[in-house]
Amino acid sequence: MSALLGPASLILTALTRGPLSGSAVIREVTAVSEGEVRLQPGTLYGTLDRLAERKLVAVDREEAADGRLRRYYRLTARGRAAAPTSPTRGPHRLAALDGLRLIAALAVAVHHYTTYWALDGVHTPAYFLPDASRVTIYGFLGVELFFMISGFAICMSSWGRTLGYFFASRAGRLYPAYWTCIVATFAVTTLLPISGHIPQRVPLSWADVGVNFTMVQEPLGVPAVDNVYWTLWAELRFYLLFAVVVAWGVTYQRTVIFLLGWLLAACAATSLDVPLLKVITVGEFAGYFVAGVAIYLMHRFGPTPLLWLILGLSWWVNMHRLAERVGPHGFGVALWPAVVIVTLGYAILVLIALGGRGLPGWRWLTLAGALTYPFYLLHQRIGYTIIRYGYELTGLPVGVLIGATVVIMLGPAWLVYRYIERPFGPRLRAALRRAFEPRTRPER
């Protein structure tokens, strides 16, 4: 479909992301067309000249690079009005995916607030909510759903990208909000400390906090500022593995080969009990990332017997790992509800991928999805503080306090999204993309 729109429309769409150099426009066109269109320099610059004559595009700036001028192009006001949206990114599907992401985040938050910490300094939330805690404990499975959604989203956003673009995009997405949330969490827990059992409550030195800013504190053996950061190490390893496919060039065939090889390696790491291989293959969570990528391939190319096979294998592997995660050495709860919840997560994600046009595409779902990452980073330790002080100062019912805390935490999450992620994420991505651009090739 995108190939039918012509280079002018695709170039205008590419430039909606901001000023781009010629080579960056070529890469962006490849990305928004999901690999269907690869502009040649002659076509690019001829089209840019015609768009400039129509006052749809203008030169933004010129930068010296190796003794040559690199020219950056931007949309004019008329160009922004004429630019089509990306022809390959259905907003209804992304909105549904964002809604699912928020549900996962809320489930994890409720799980943390209702289990395994001393709400009043002595008793766990189960003391106050004995019936509800038996249900909310399964909220930990929101993490598994996160990983499936991540597999879907990363494969979708990596199609047609270069390796440098991939890393810049991931860094720009993760780090600005993460750095801000570290500062906020450390400040709150230092100024308003609470006693009693709290997961991973250990003293942190300034050096420990500094290491946390790298996001690799876990492999370095440094305690995290917030317990929830452990999932970021799993995500980073997934990115590094998928970077192999991006460097190779993301195609259907290569991605399928990667998924089968990764799933086999992850199973071998467990059966052979090779610790290093477990770390590299993301151990117990590999199957969820594999499932998400396979479901995206279904979304893009349609379901095939091979993709259904990969999805089925990932489900089977995940069920085996799930038995360990909820068993006596894990959460110590019944297995069957976890099986139902994870299977339902598979079904919903497949429905979004294959039947998304029949699902709602409310704009507020996109905002909800945008709040998910900062909400997840902020909710646990700051939420514990709000609940403890709220309990001691107001005497409100625990259920009310927990529900109110979930709503309250959406506020700082919005602030991080609005005033950190939106302005600084694109700037960091643009700076890193420029750093990855080749400096030896002449450009107009």
- DSSP for 290-308, written as a single string: HHHHHHHHHHHH---HHHH
Residues 20, 43: contact at Cβ < 8 Å? no
Average pLDDT score over residue span 266-283:
92
Average pLDDT score over residue span 382-407:
96
Query: Strands of 20-21's sheet, edge to edge?
Result: 20-21, 68-75, 57-65
Residues 392, 125: contact at Cβ < 8 Å? no
Task: Grade residue 61 by pLDDT with cuts at 50, 70 and 90.
Answer: confident
Residues 200, 290: contact at Cβ < 8 Å? no
Average pLDDT score over residue span 416-423:
94
Report the predicted TM-score, pTM, of the whole model to 2 decimal places: 0.80
| Residue that is written with structure tokens 């690999």 in the block | 35
**Phi, psi dihedrals of residue 12, rounded to the nearest 5°:** -60, -40
| Chain Cα centroid distance, residue 25 | 24
| Residue that is written with structure tokens 């006001």 in the block | 77
Both tokens assigned to 349: 């994600």
From the number of C-beta atoms within 10 Å of its C-beta (0-12, 13-18, 19+), residue 121 rates as middle
pLDDT at 71: 87
pLDDT in tens, 128-155: 999 999 999 999 999 999 999 999 999 9
pLDDT in tens, 71-117: 889 888 888 777 764 444 443 446 788 889 999 999 999 999 999 89
Q: Any idea which fold 2-87 has? A: Arc Repressor Mutant, subunit A (1.10.10)
Both tokens assigned to 116: 């395994």
Share of the chain above pLDDT 70, in %: 89
Q: How many residues does the chain have?
A: 444
- DSSP for 317-349, written as a single string: HHHHHHHHHHSTTTT---HHHHHHHHHHHHHHH
Per DSSP, what are the bridge partners of residue 57?
75
pLDDT at 160: 75
Enumerate the CATH 1.10.10.10 domain ranges in the chain, comma separated.
2-87
Q: Which of 72, 75, 243, 167 is nearest to 428 (CA)?
A: 167
- Those residues with Cβ within 8 angstroms of residue 94's Cβ, 6 or more apart along the chain or in another chain: 366, 369
pLDDT of 175 above 50: yes
Distance CA 26, CA 326 (A): 48
In the three-class reduction of DSSP (H, G, I as helix; E, B as strand; rest coil), residue 71 is classed as: strand
pLDDT at 358: 53
**How many CA within 13 A on the CB side of residue 289?**
25
**Phi, psi dihedrals of residue 21, rounded to the nearest 5°:** -80, 175
- Those residues with Cβ within 8 angstroms of residue 408's Cβ, 6 or more apart along the chain or in another chain: 386
Q: Which of 4-18, 182-196, 278-292, 421-435 has the lowest mean pLDDT?
A: 4-18
pLDDT in tens, 198-219: 876 678 899 999 999 999 999 9
Q: Which of 69-78, 81-90, 241-250, 257-266 has the lowest mean pLDDT?
A: 81-90
pLDDT of 355 above 60: yes
Both tokens assigned to 333: 């709860």
Q: Which of 306, 150, 165 is nearest to 249 (CA)?
A: 165
Distance CA 309, CA 294 (A): 10
Residues 391, 120: contact at Cβ < 8 Å? yes
Mean pLDDT of the chain: 88
Residues 126, 133: contact at Cβ < 8 Å? yes
Q: How far is CA 112 from CA 125, 308, 383, 401, in A?
A: 10, 34, 9, 13
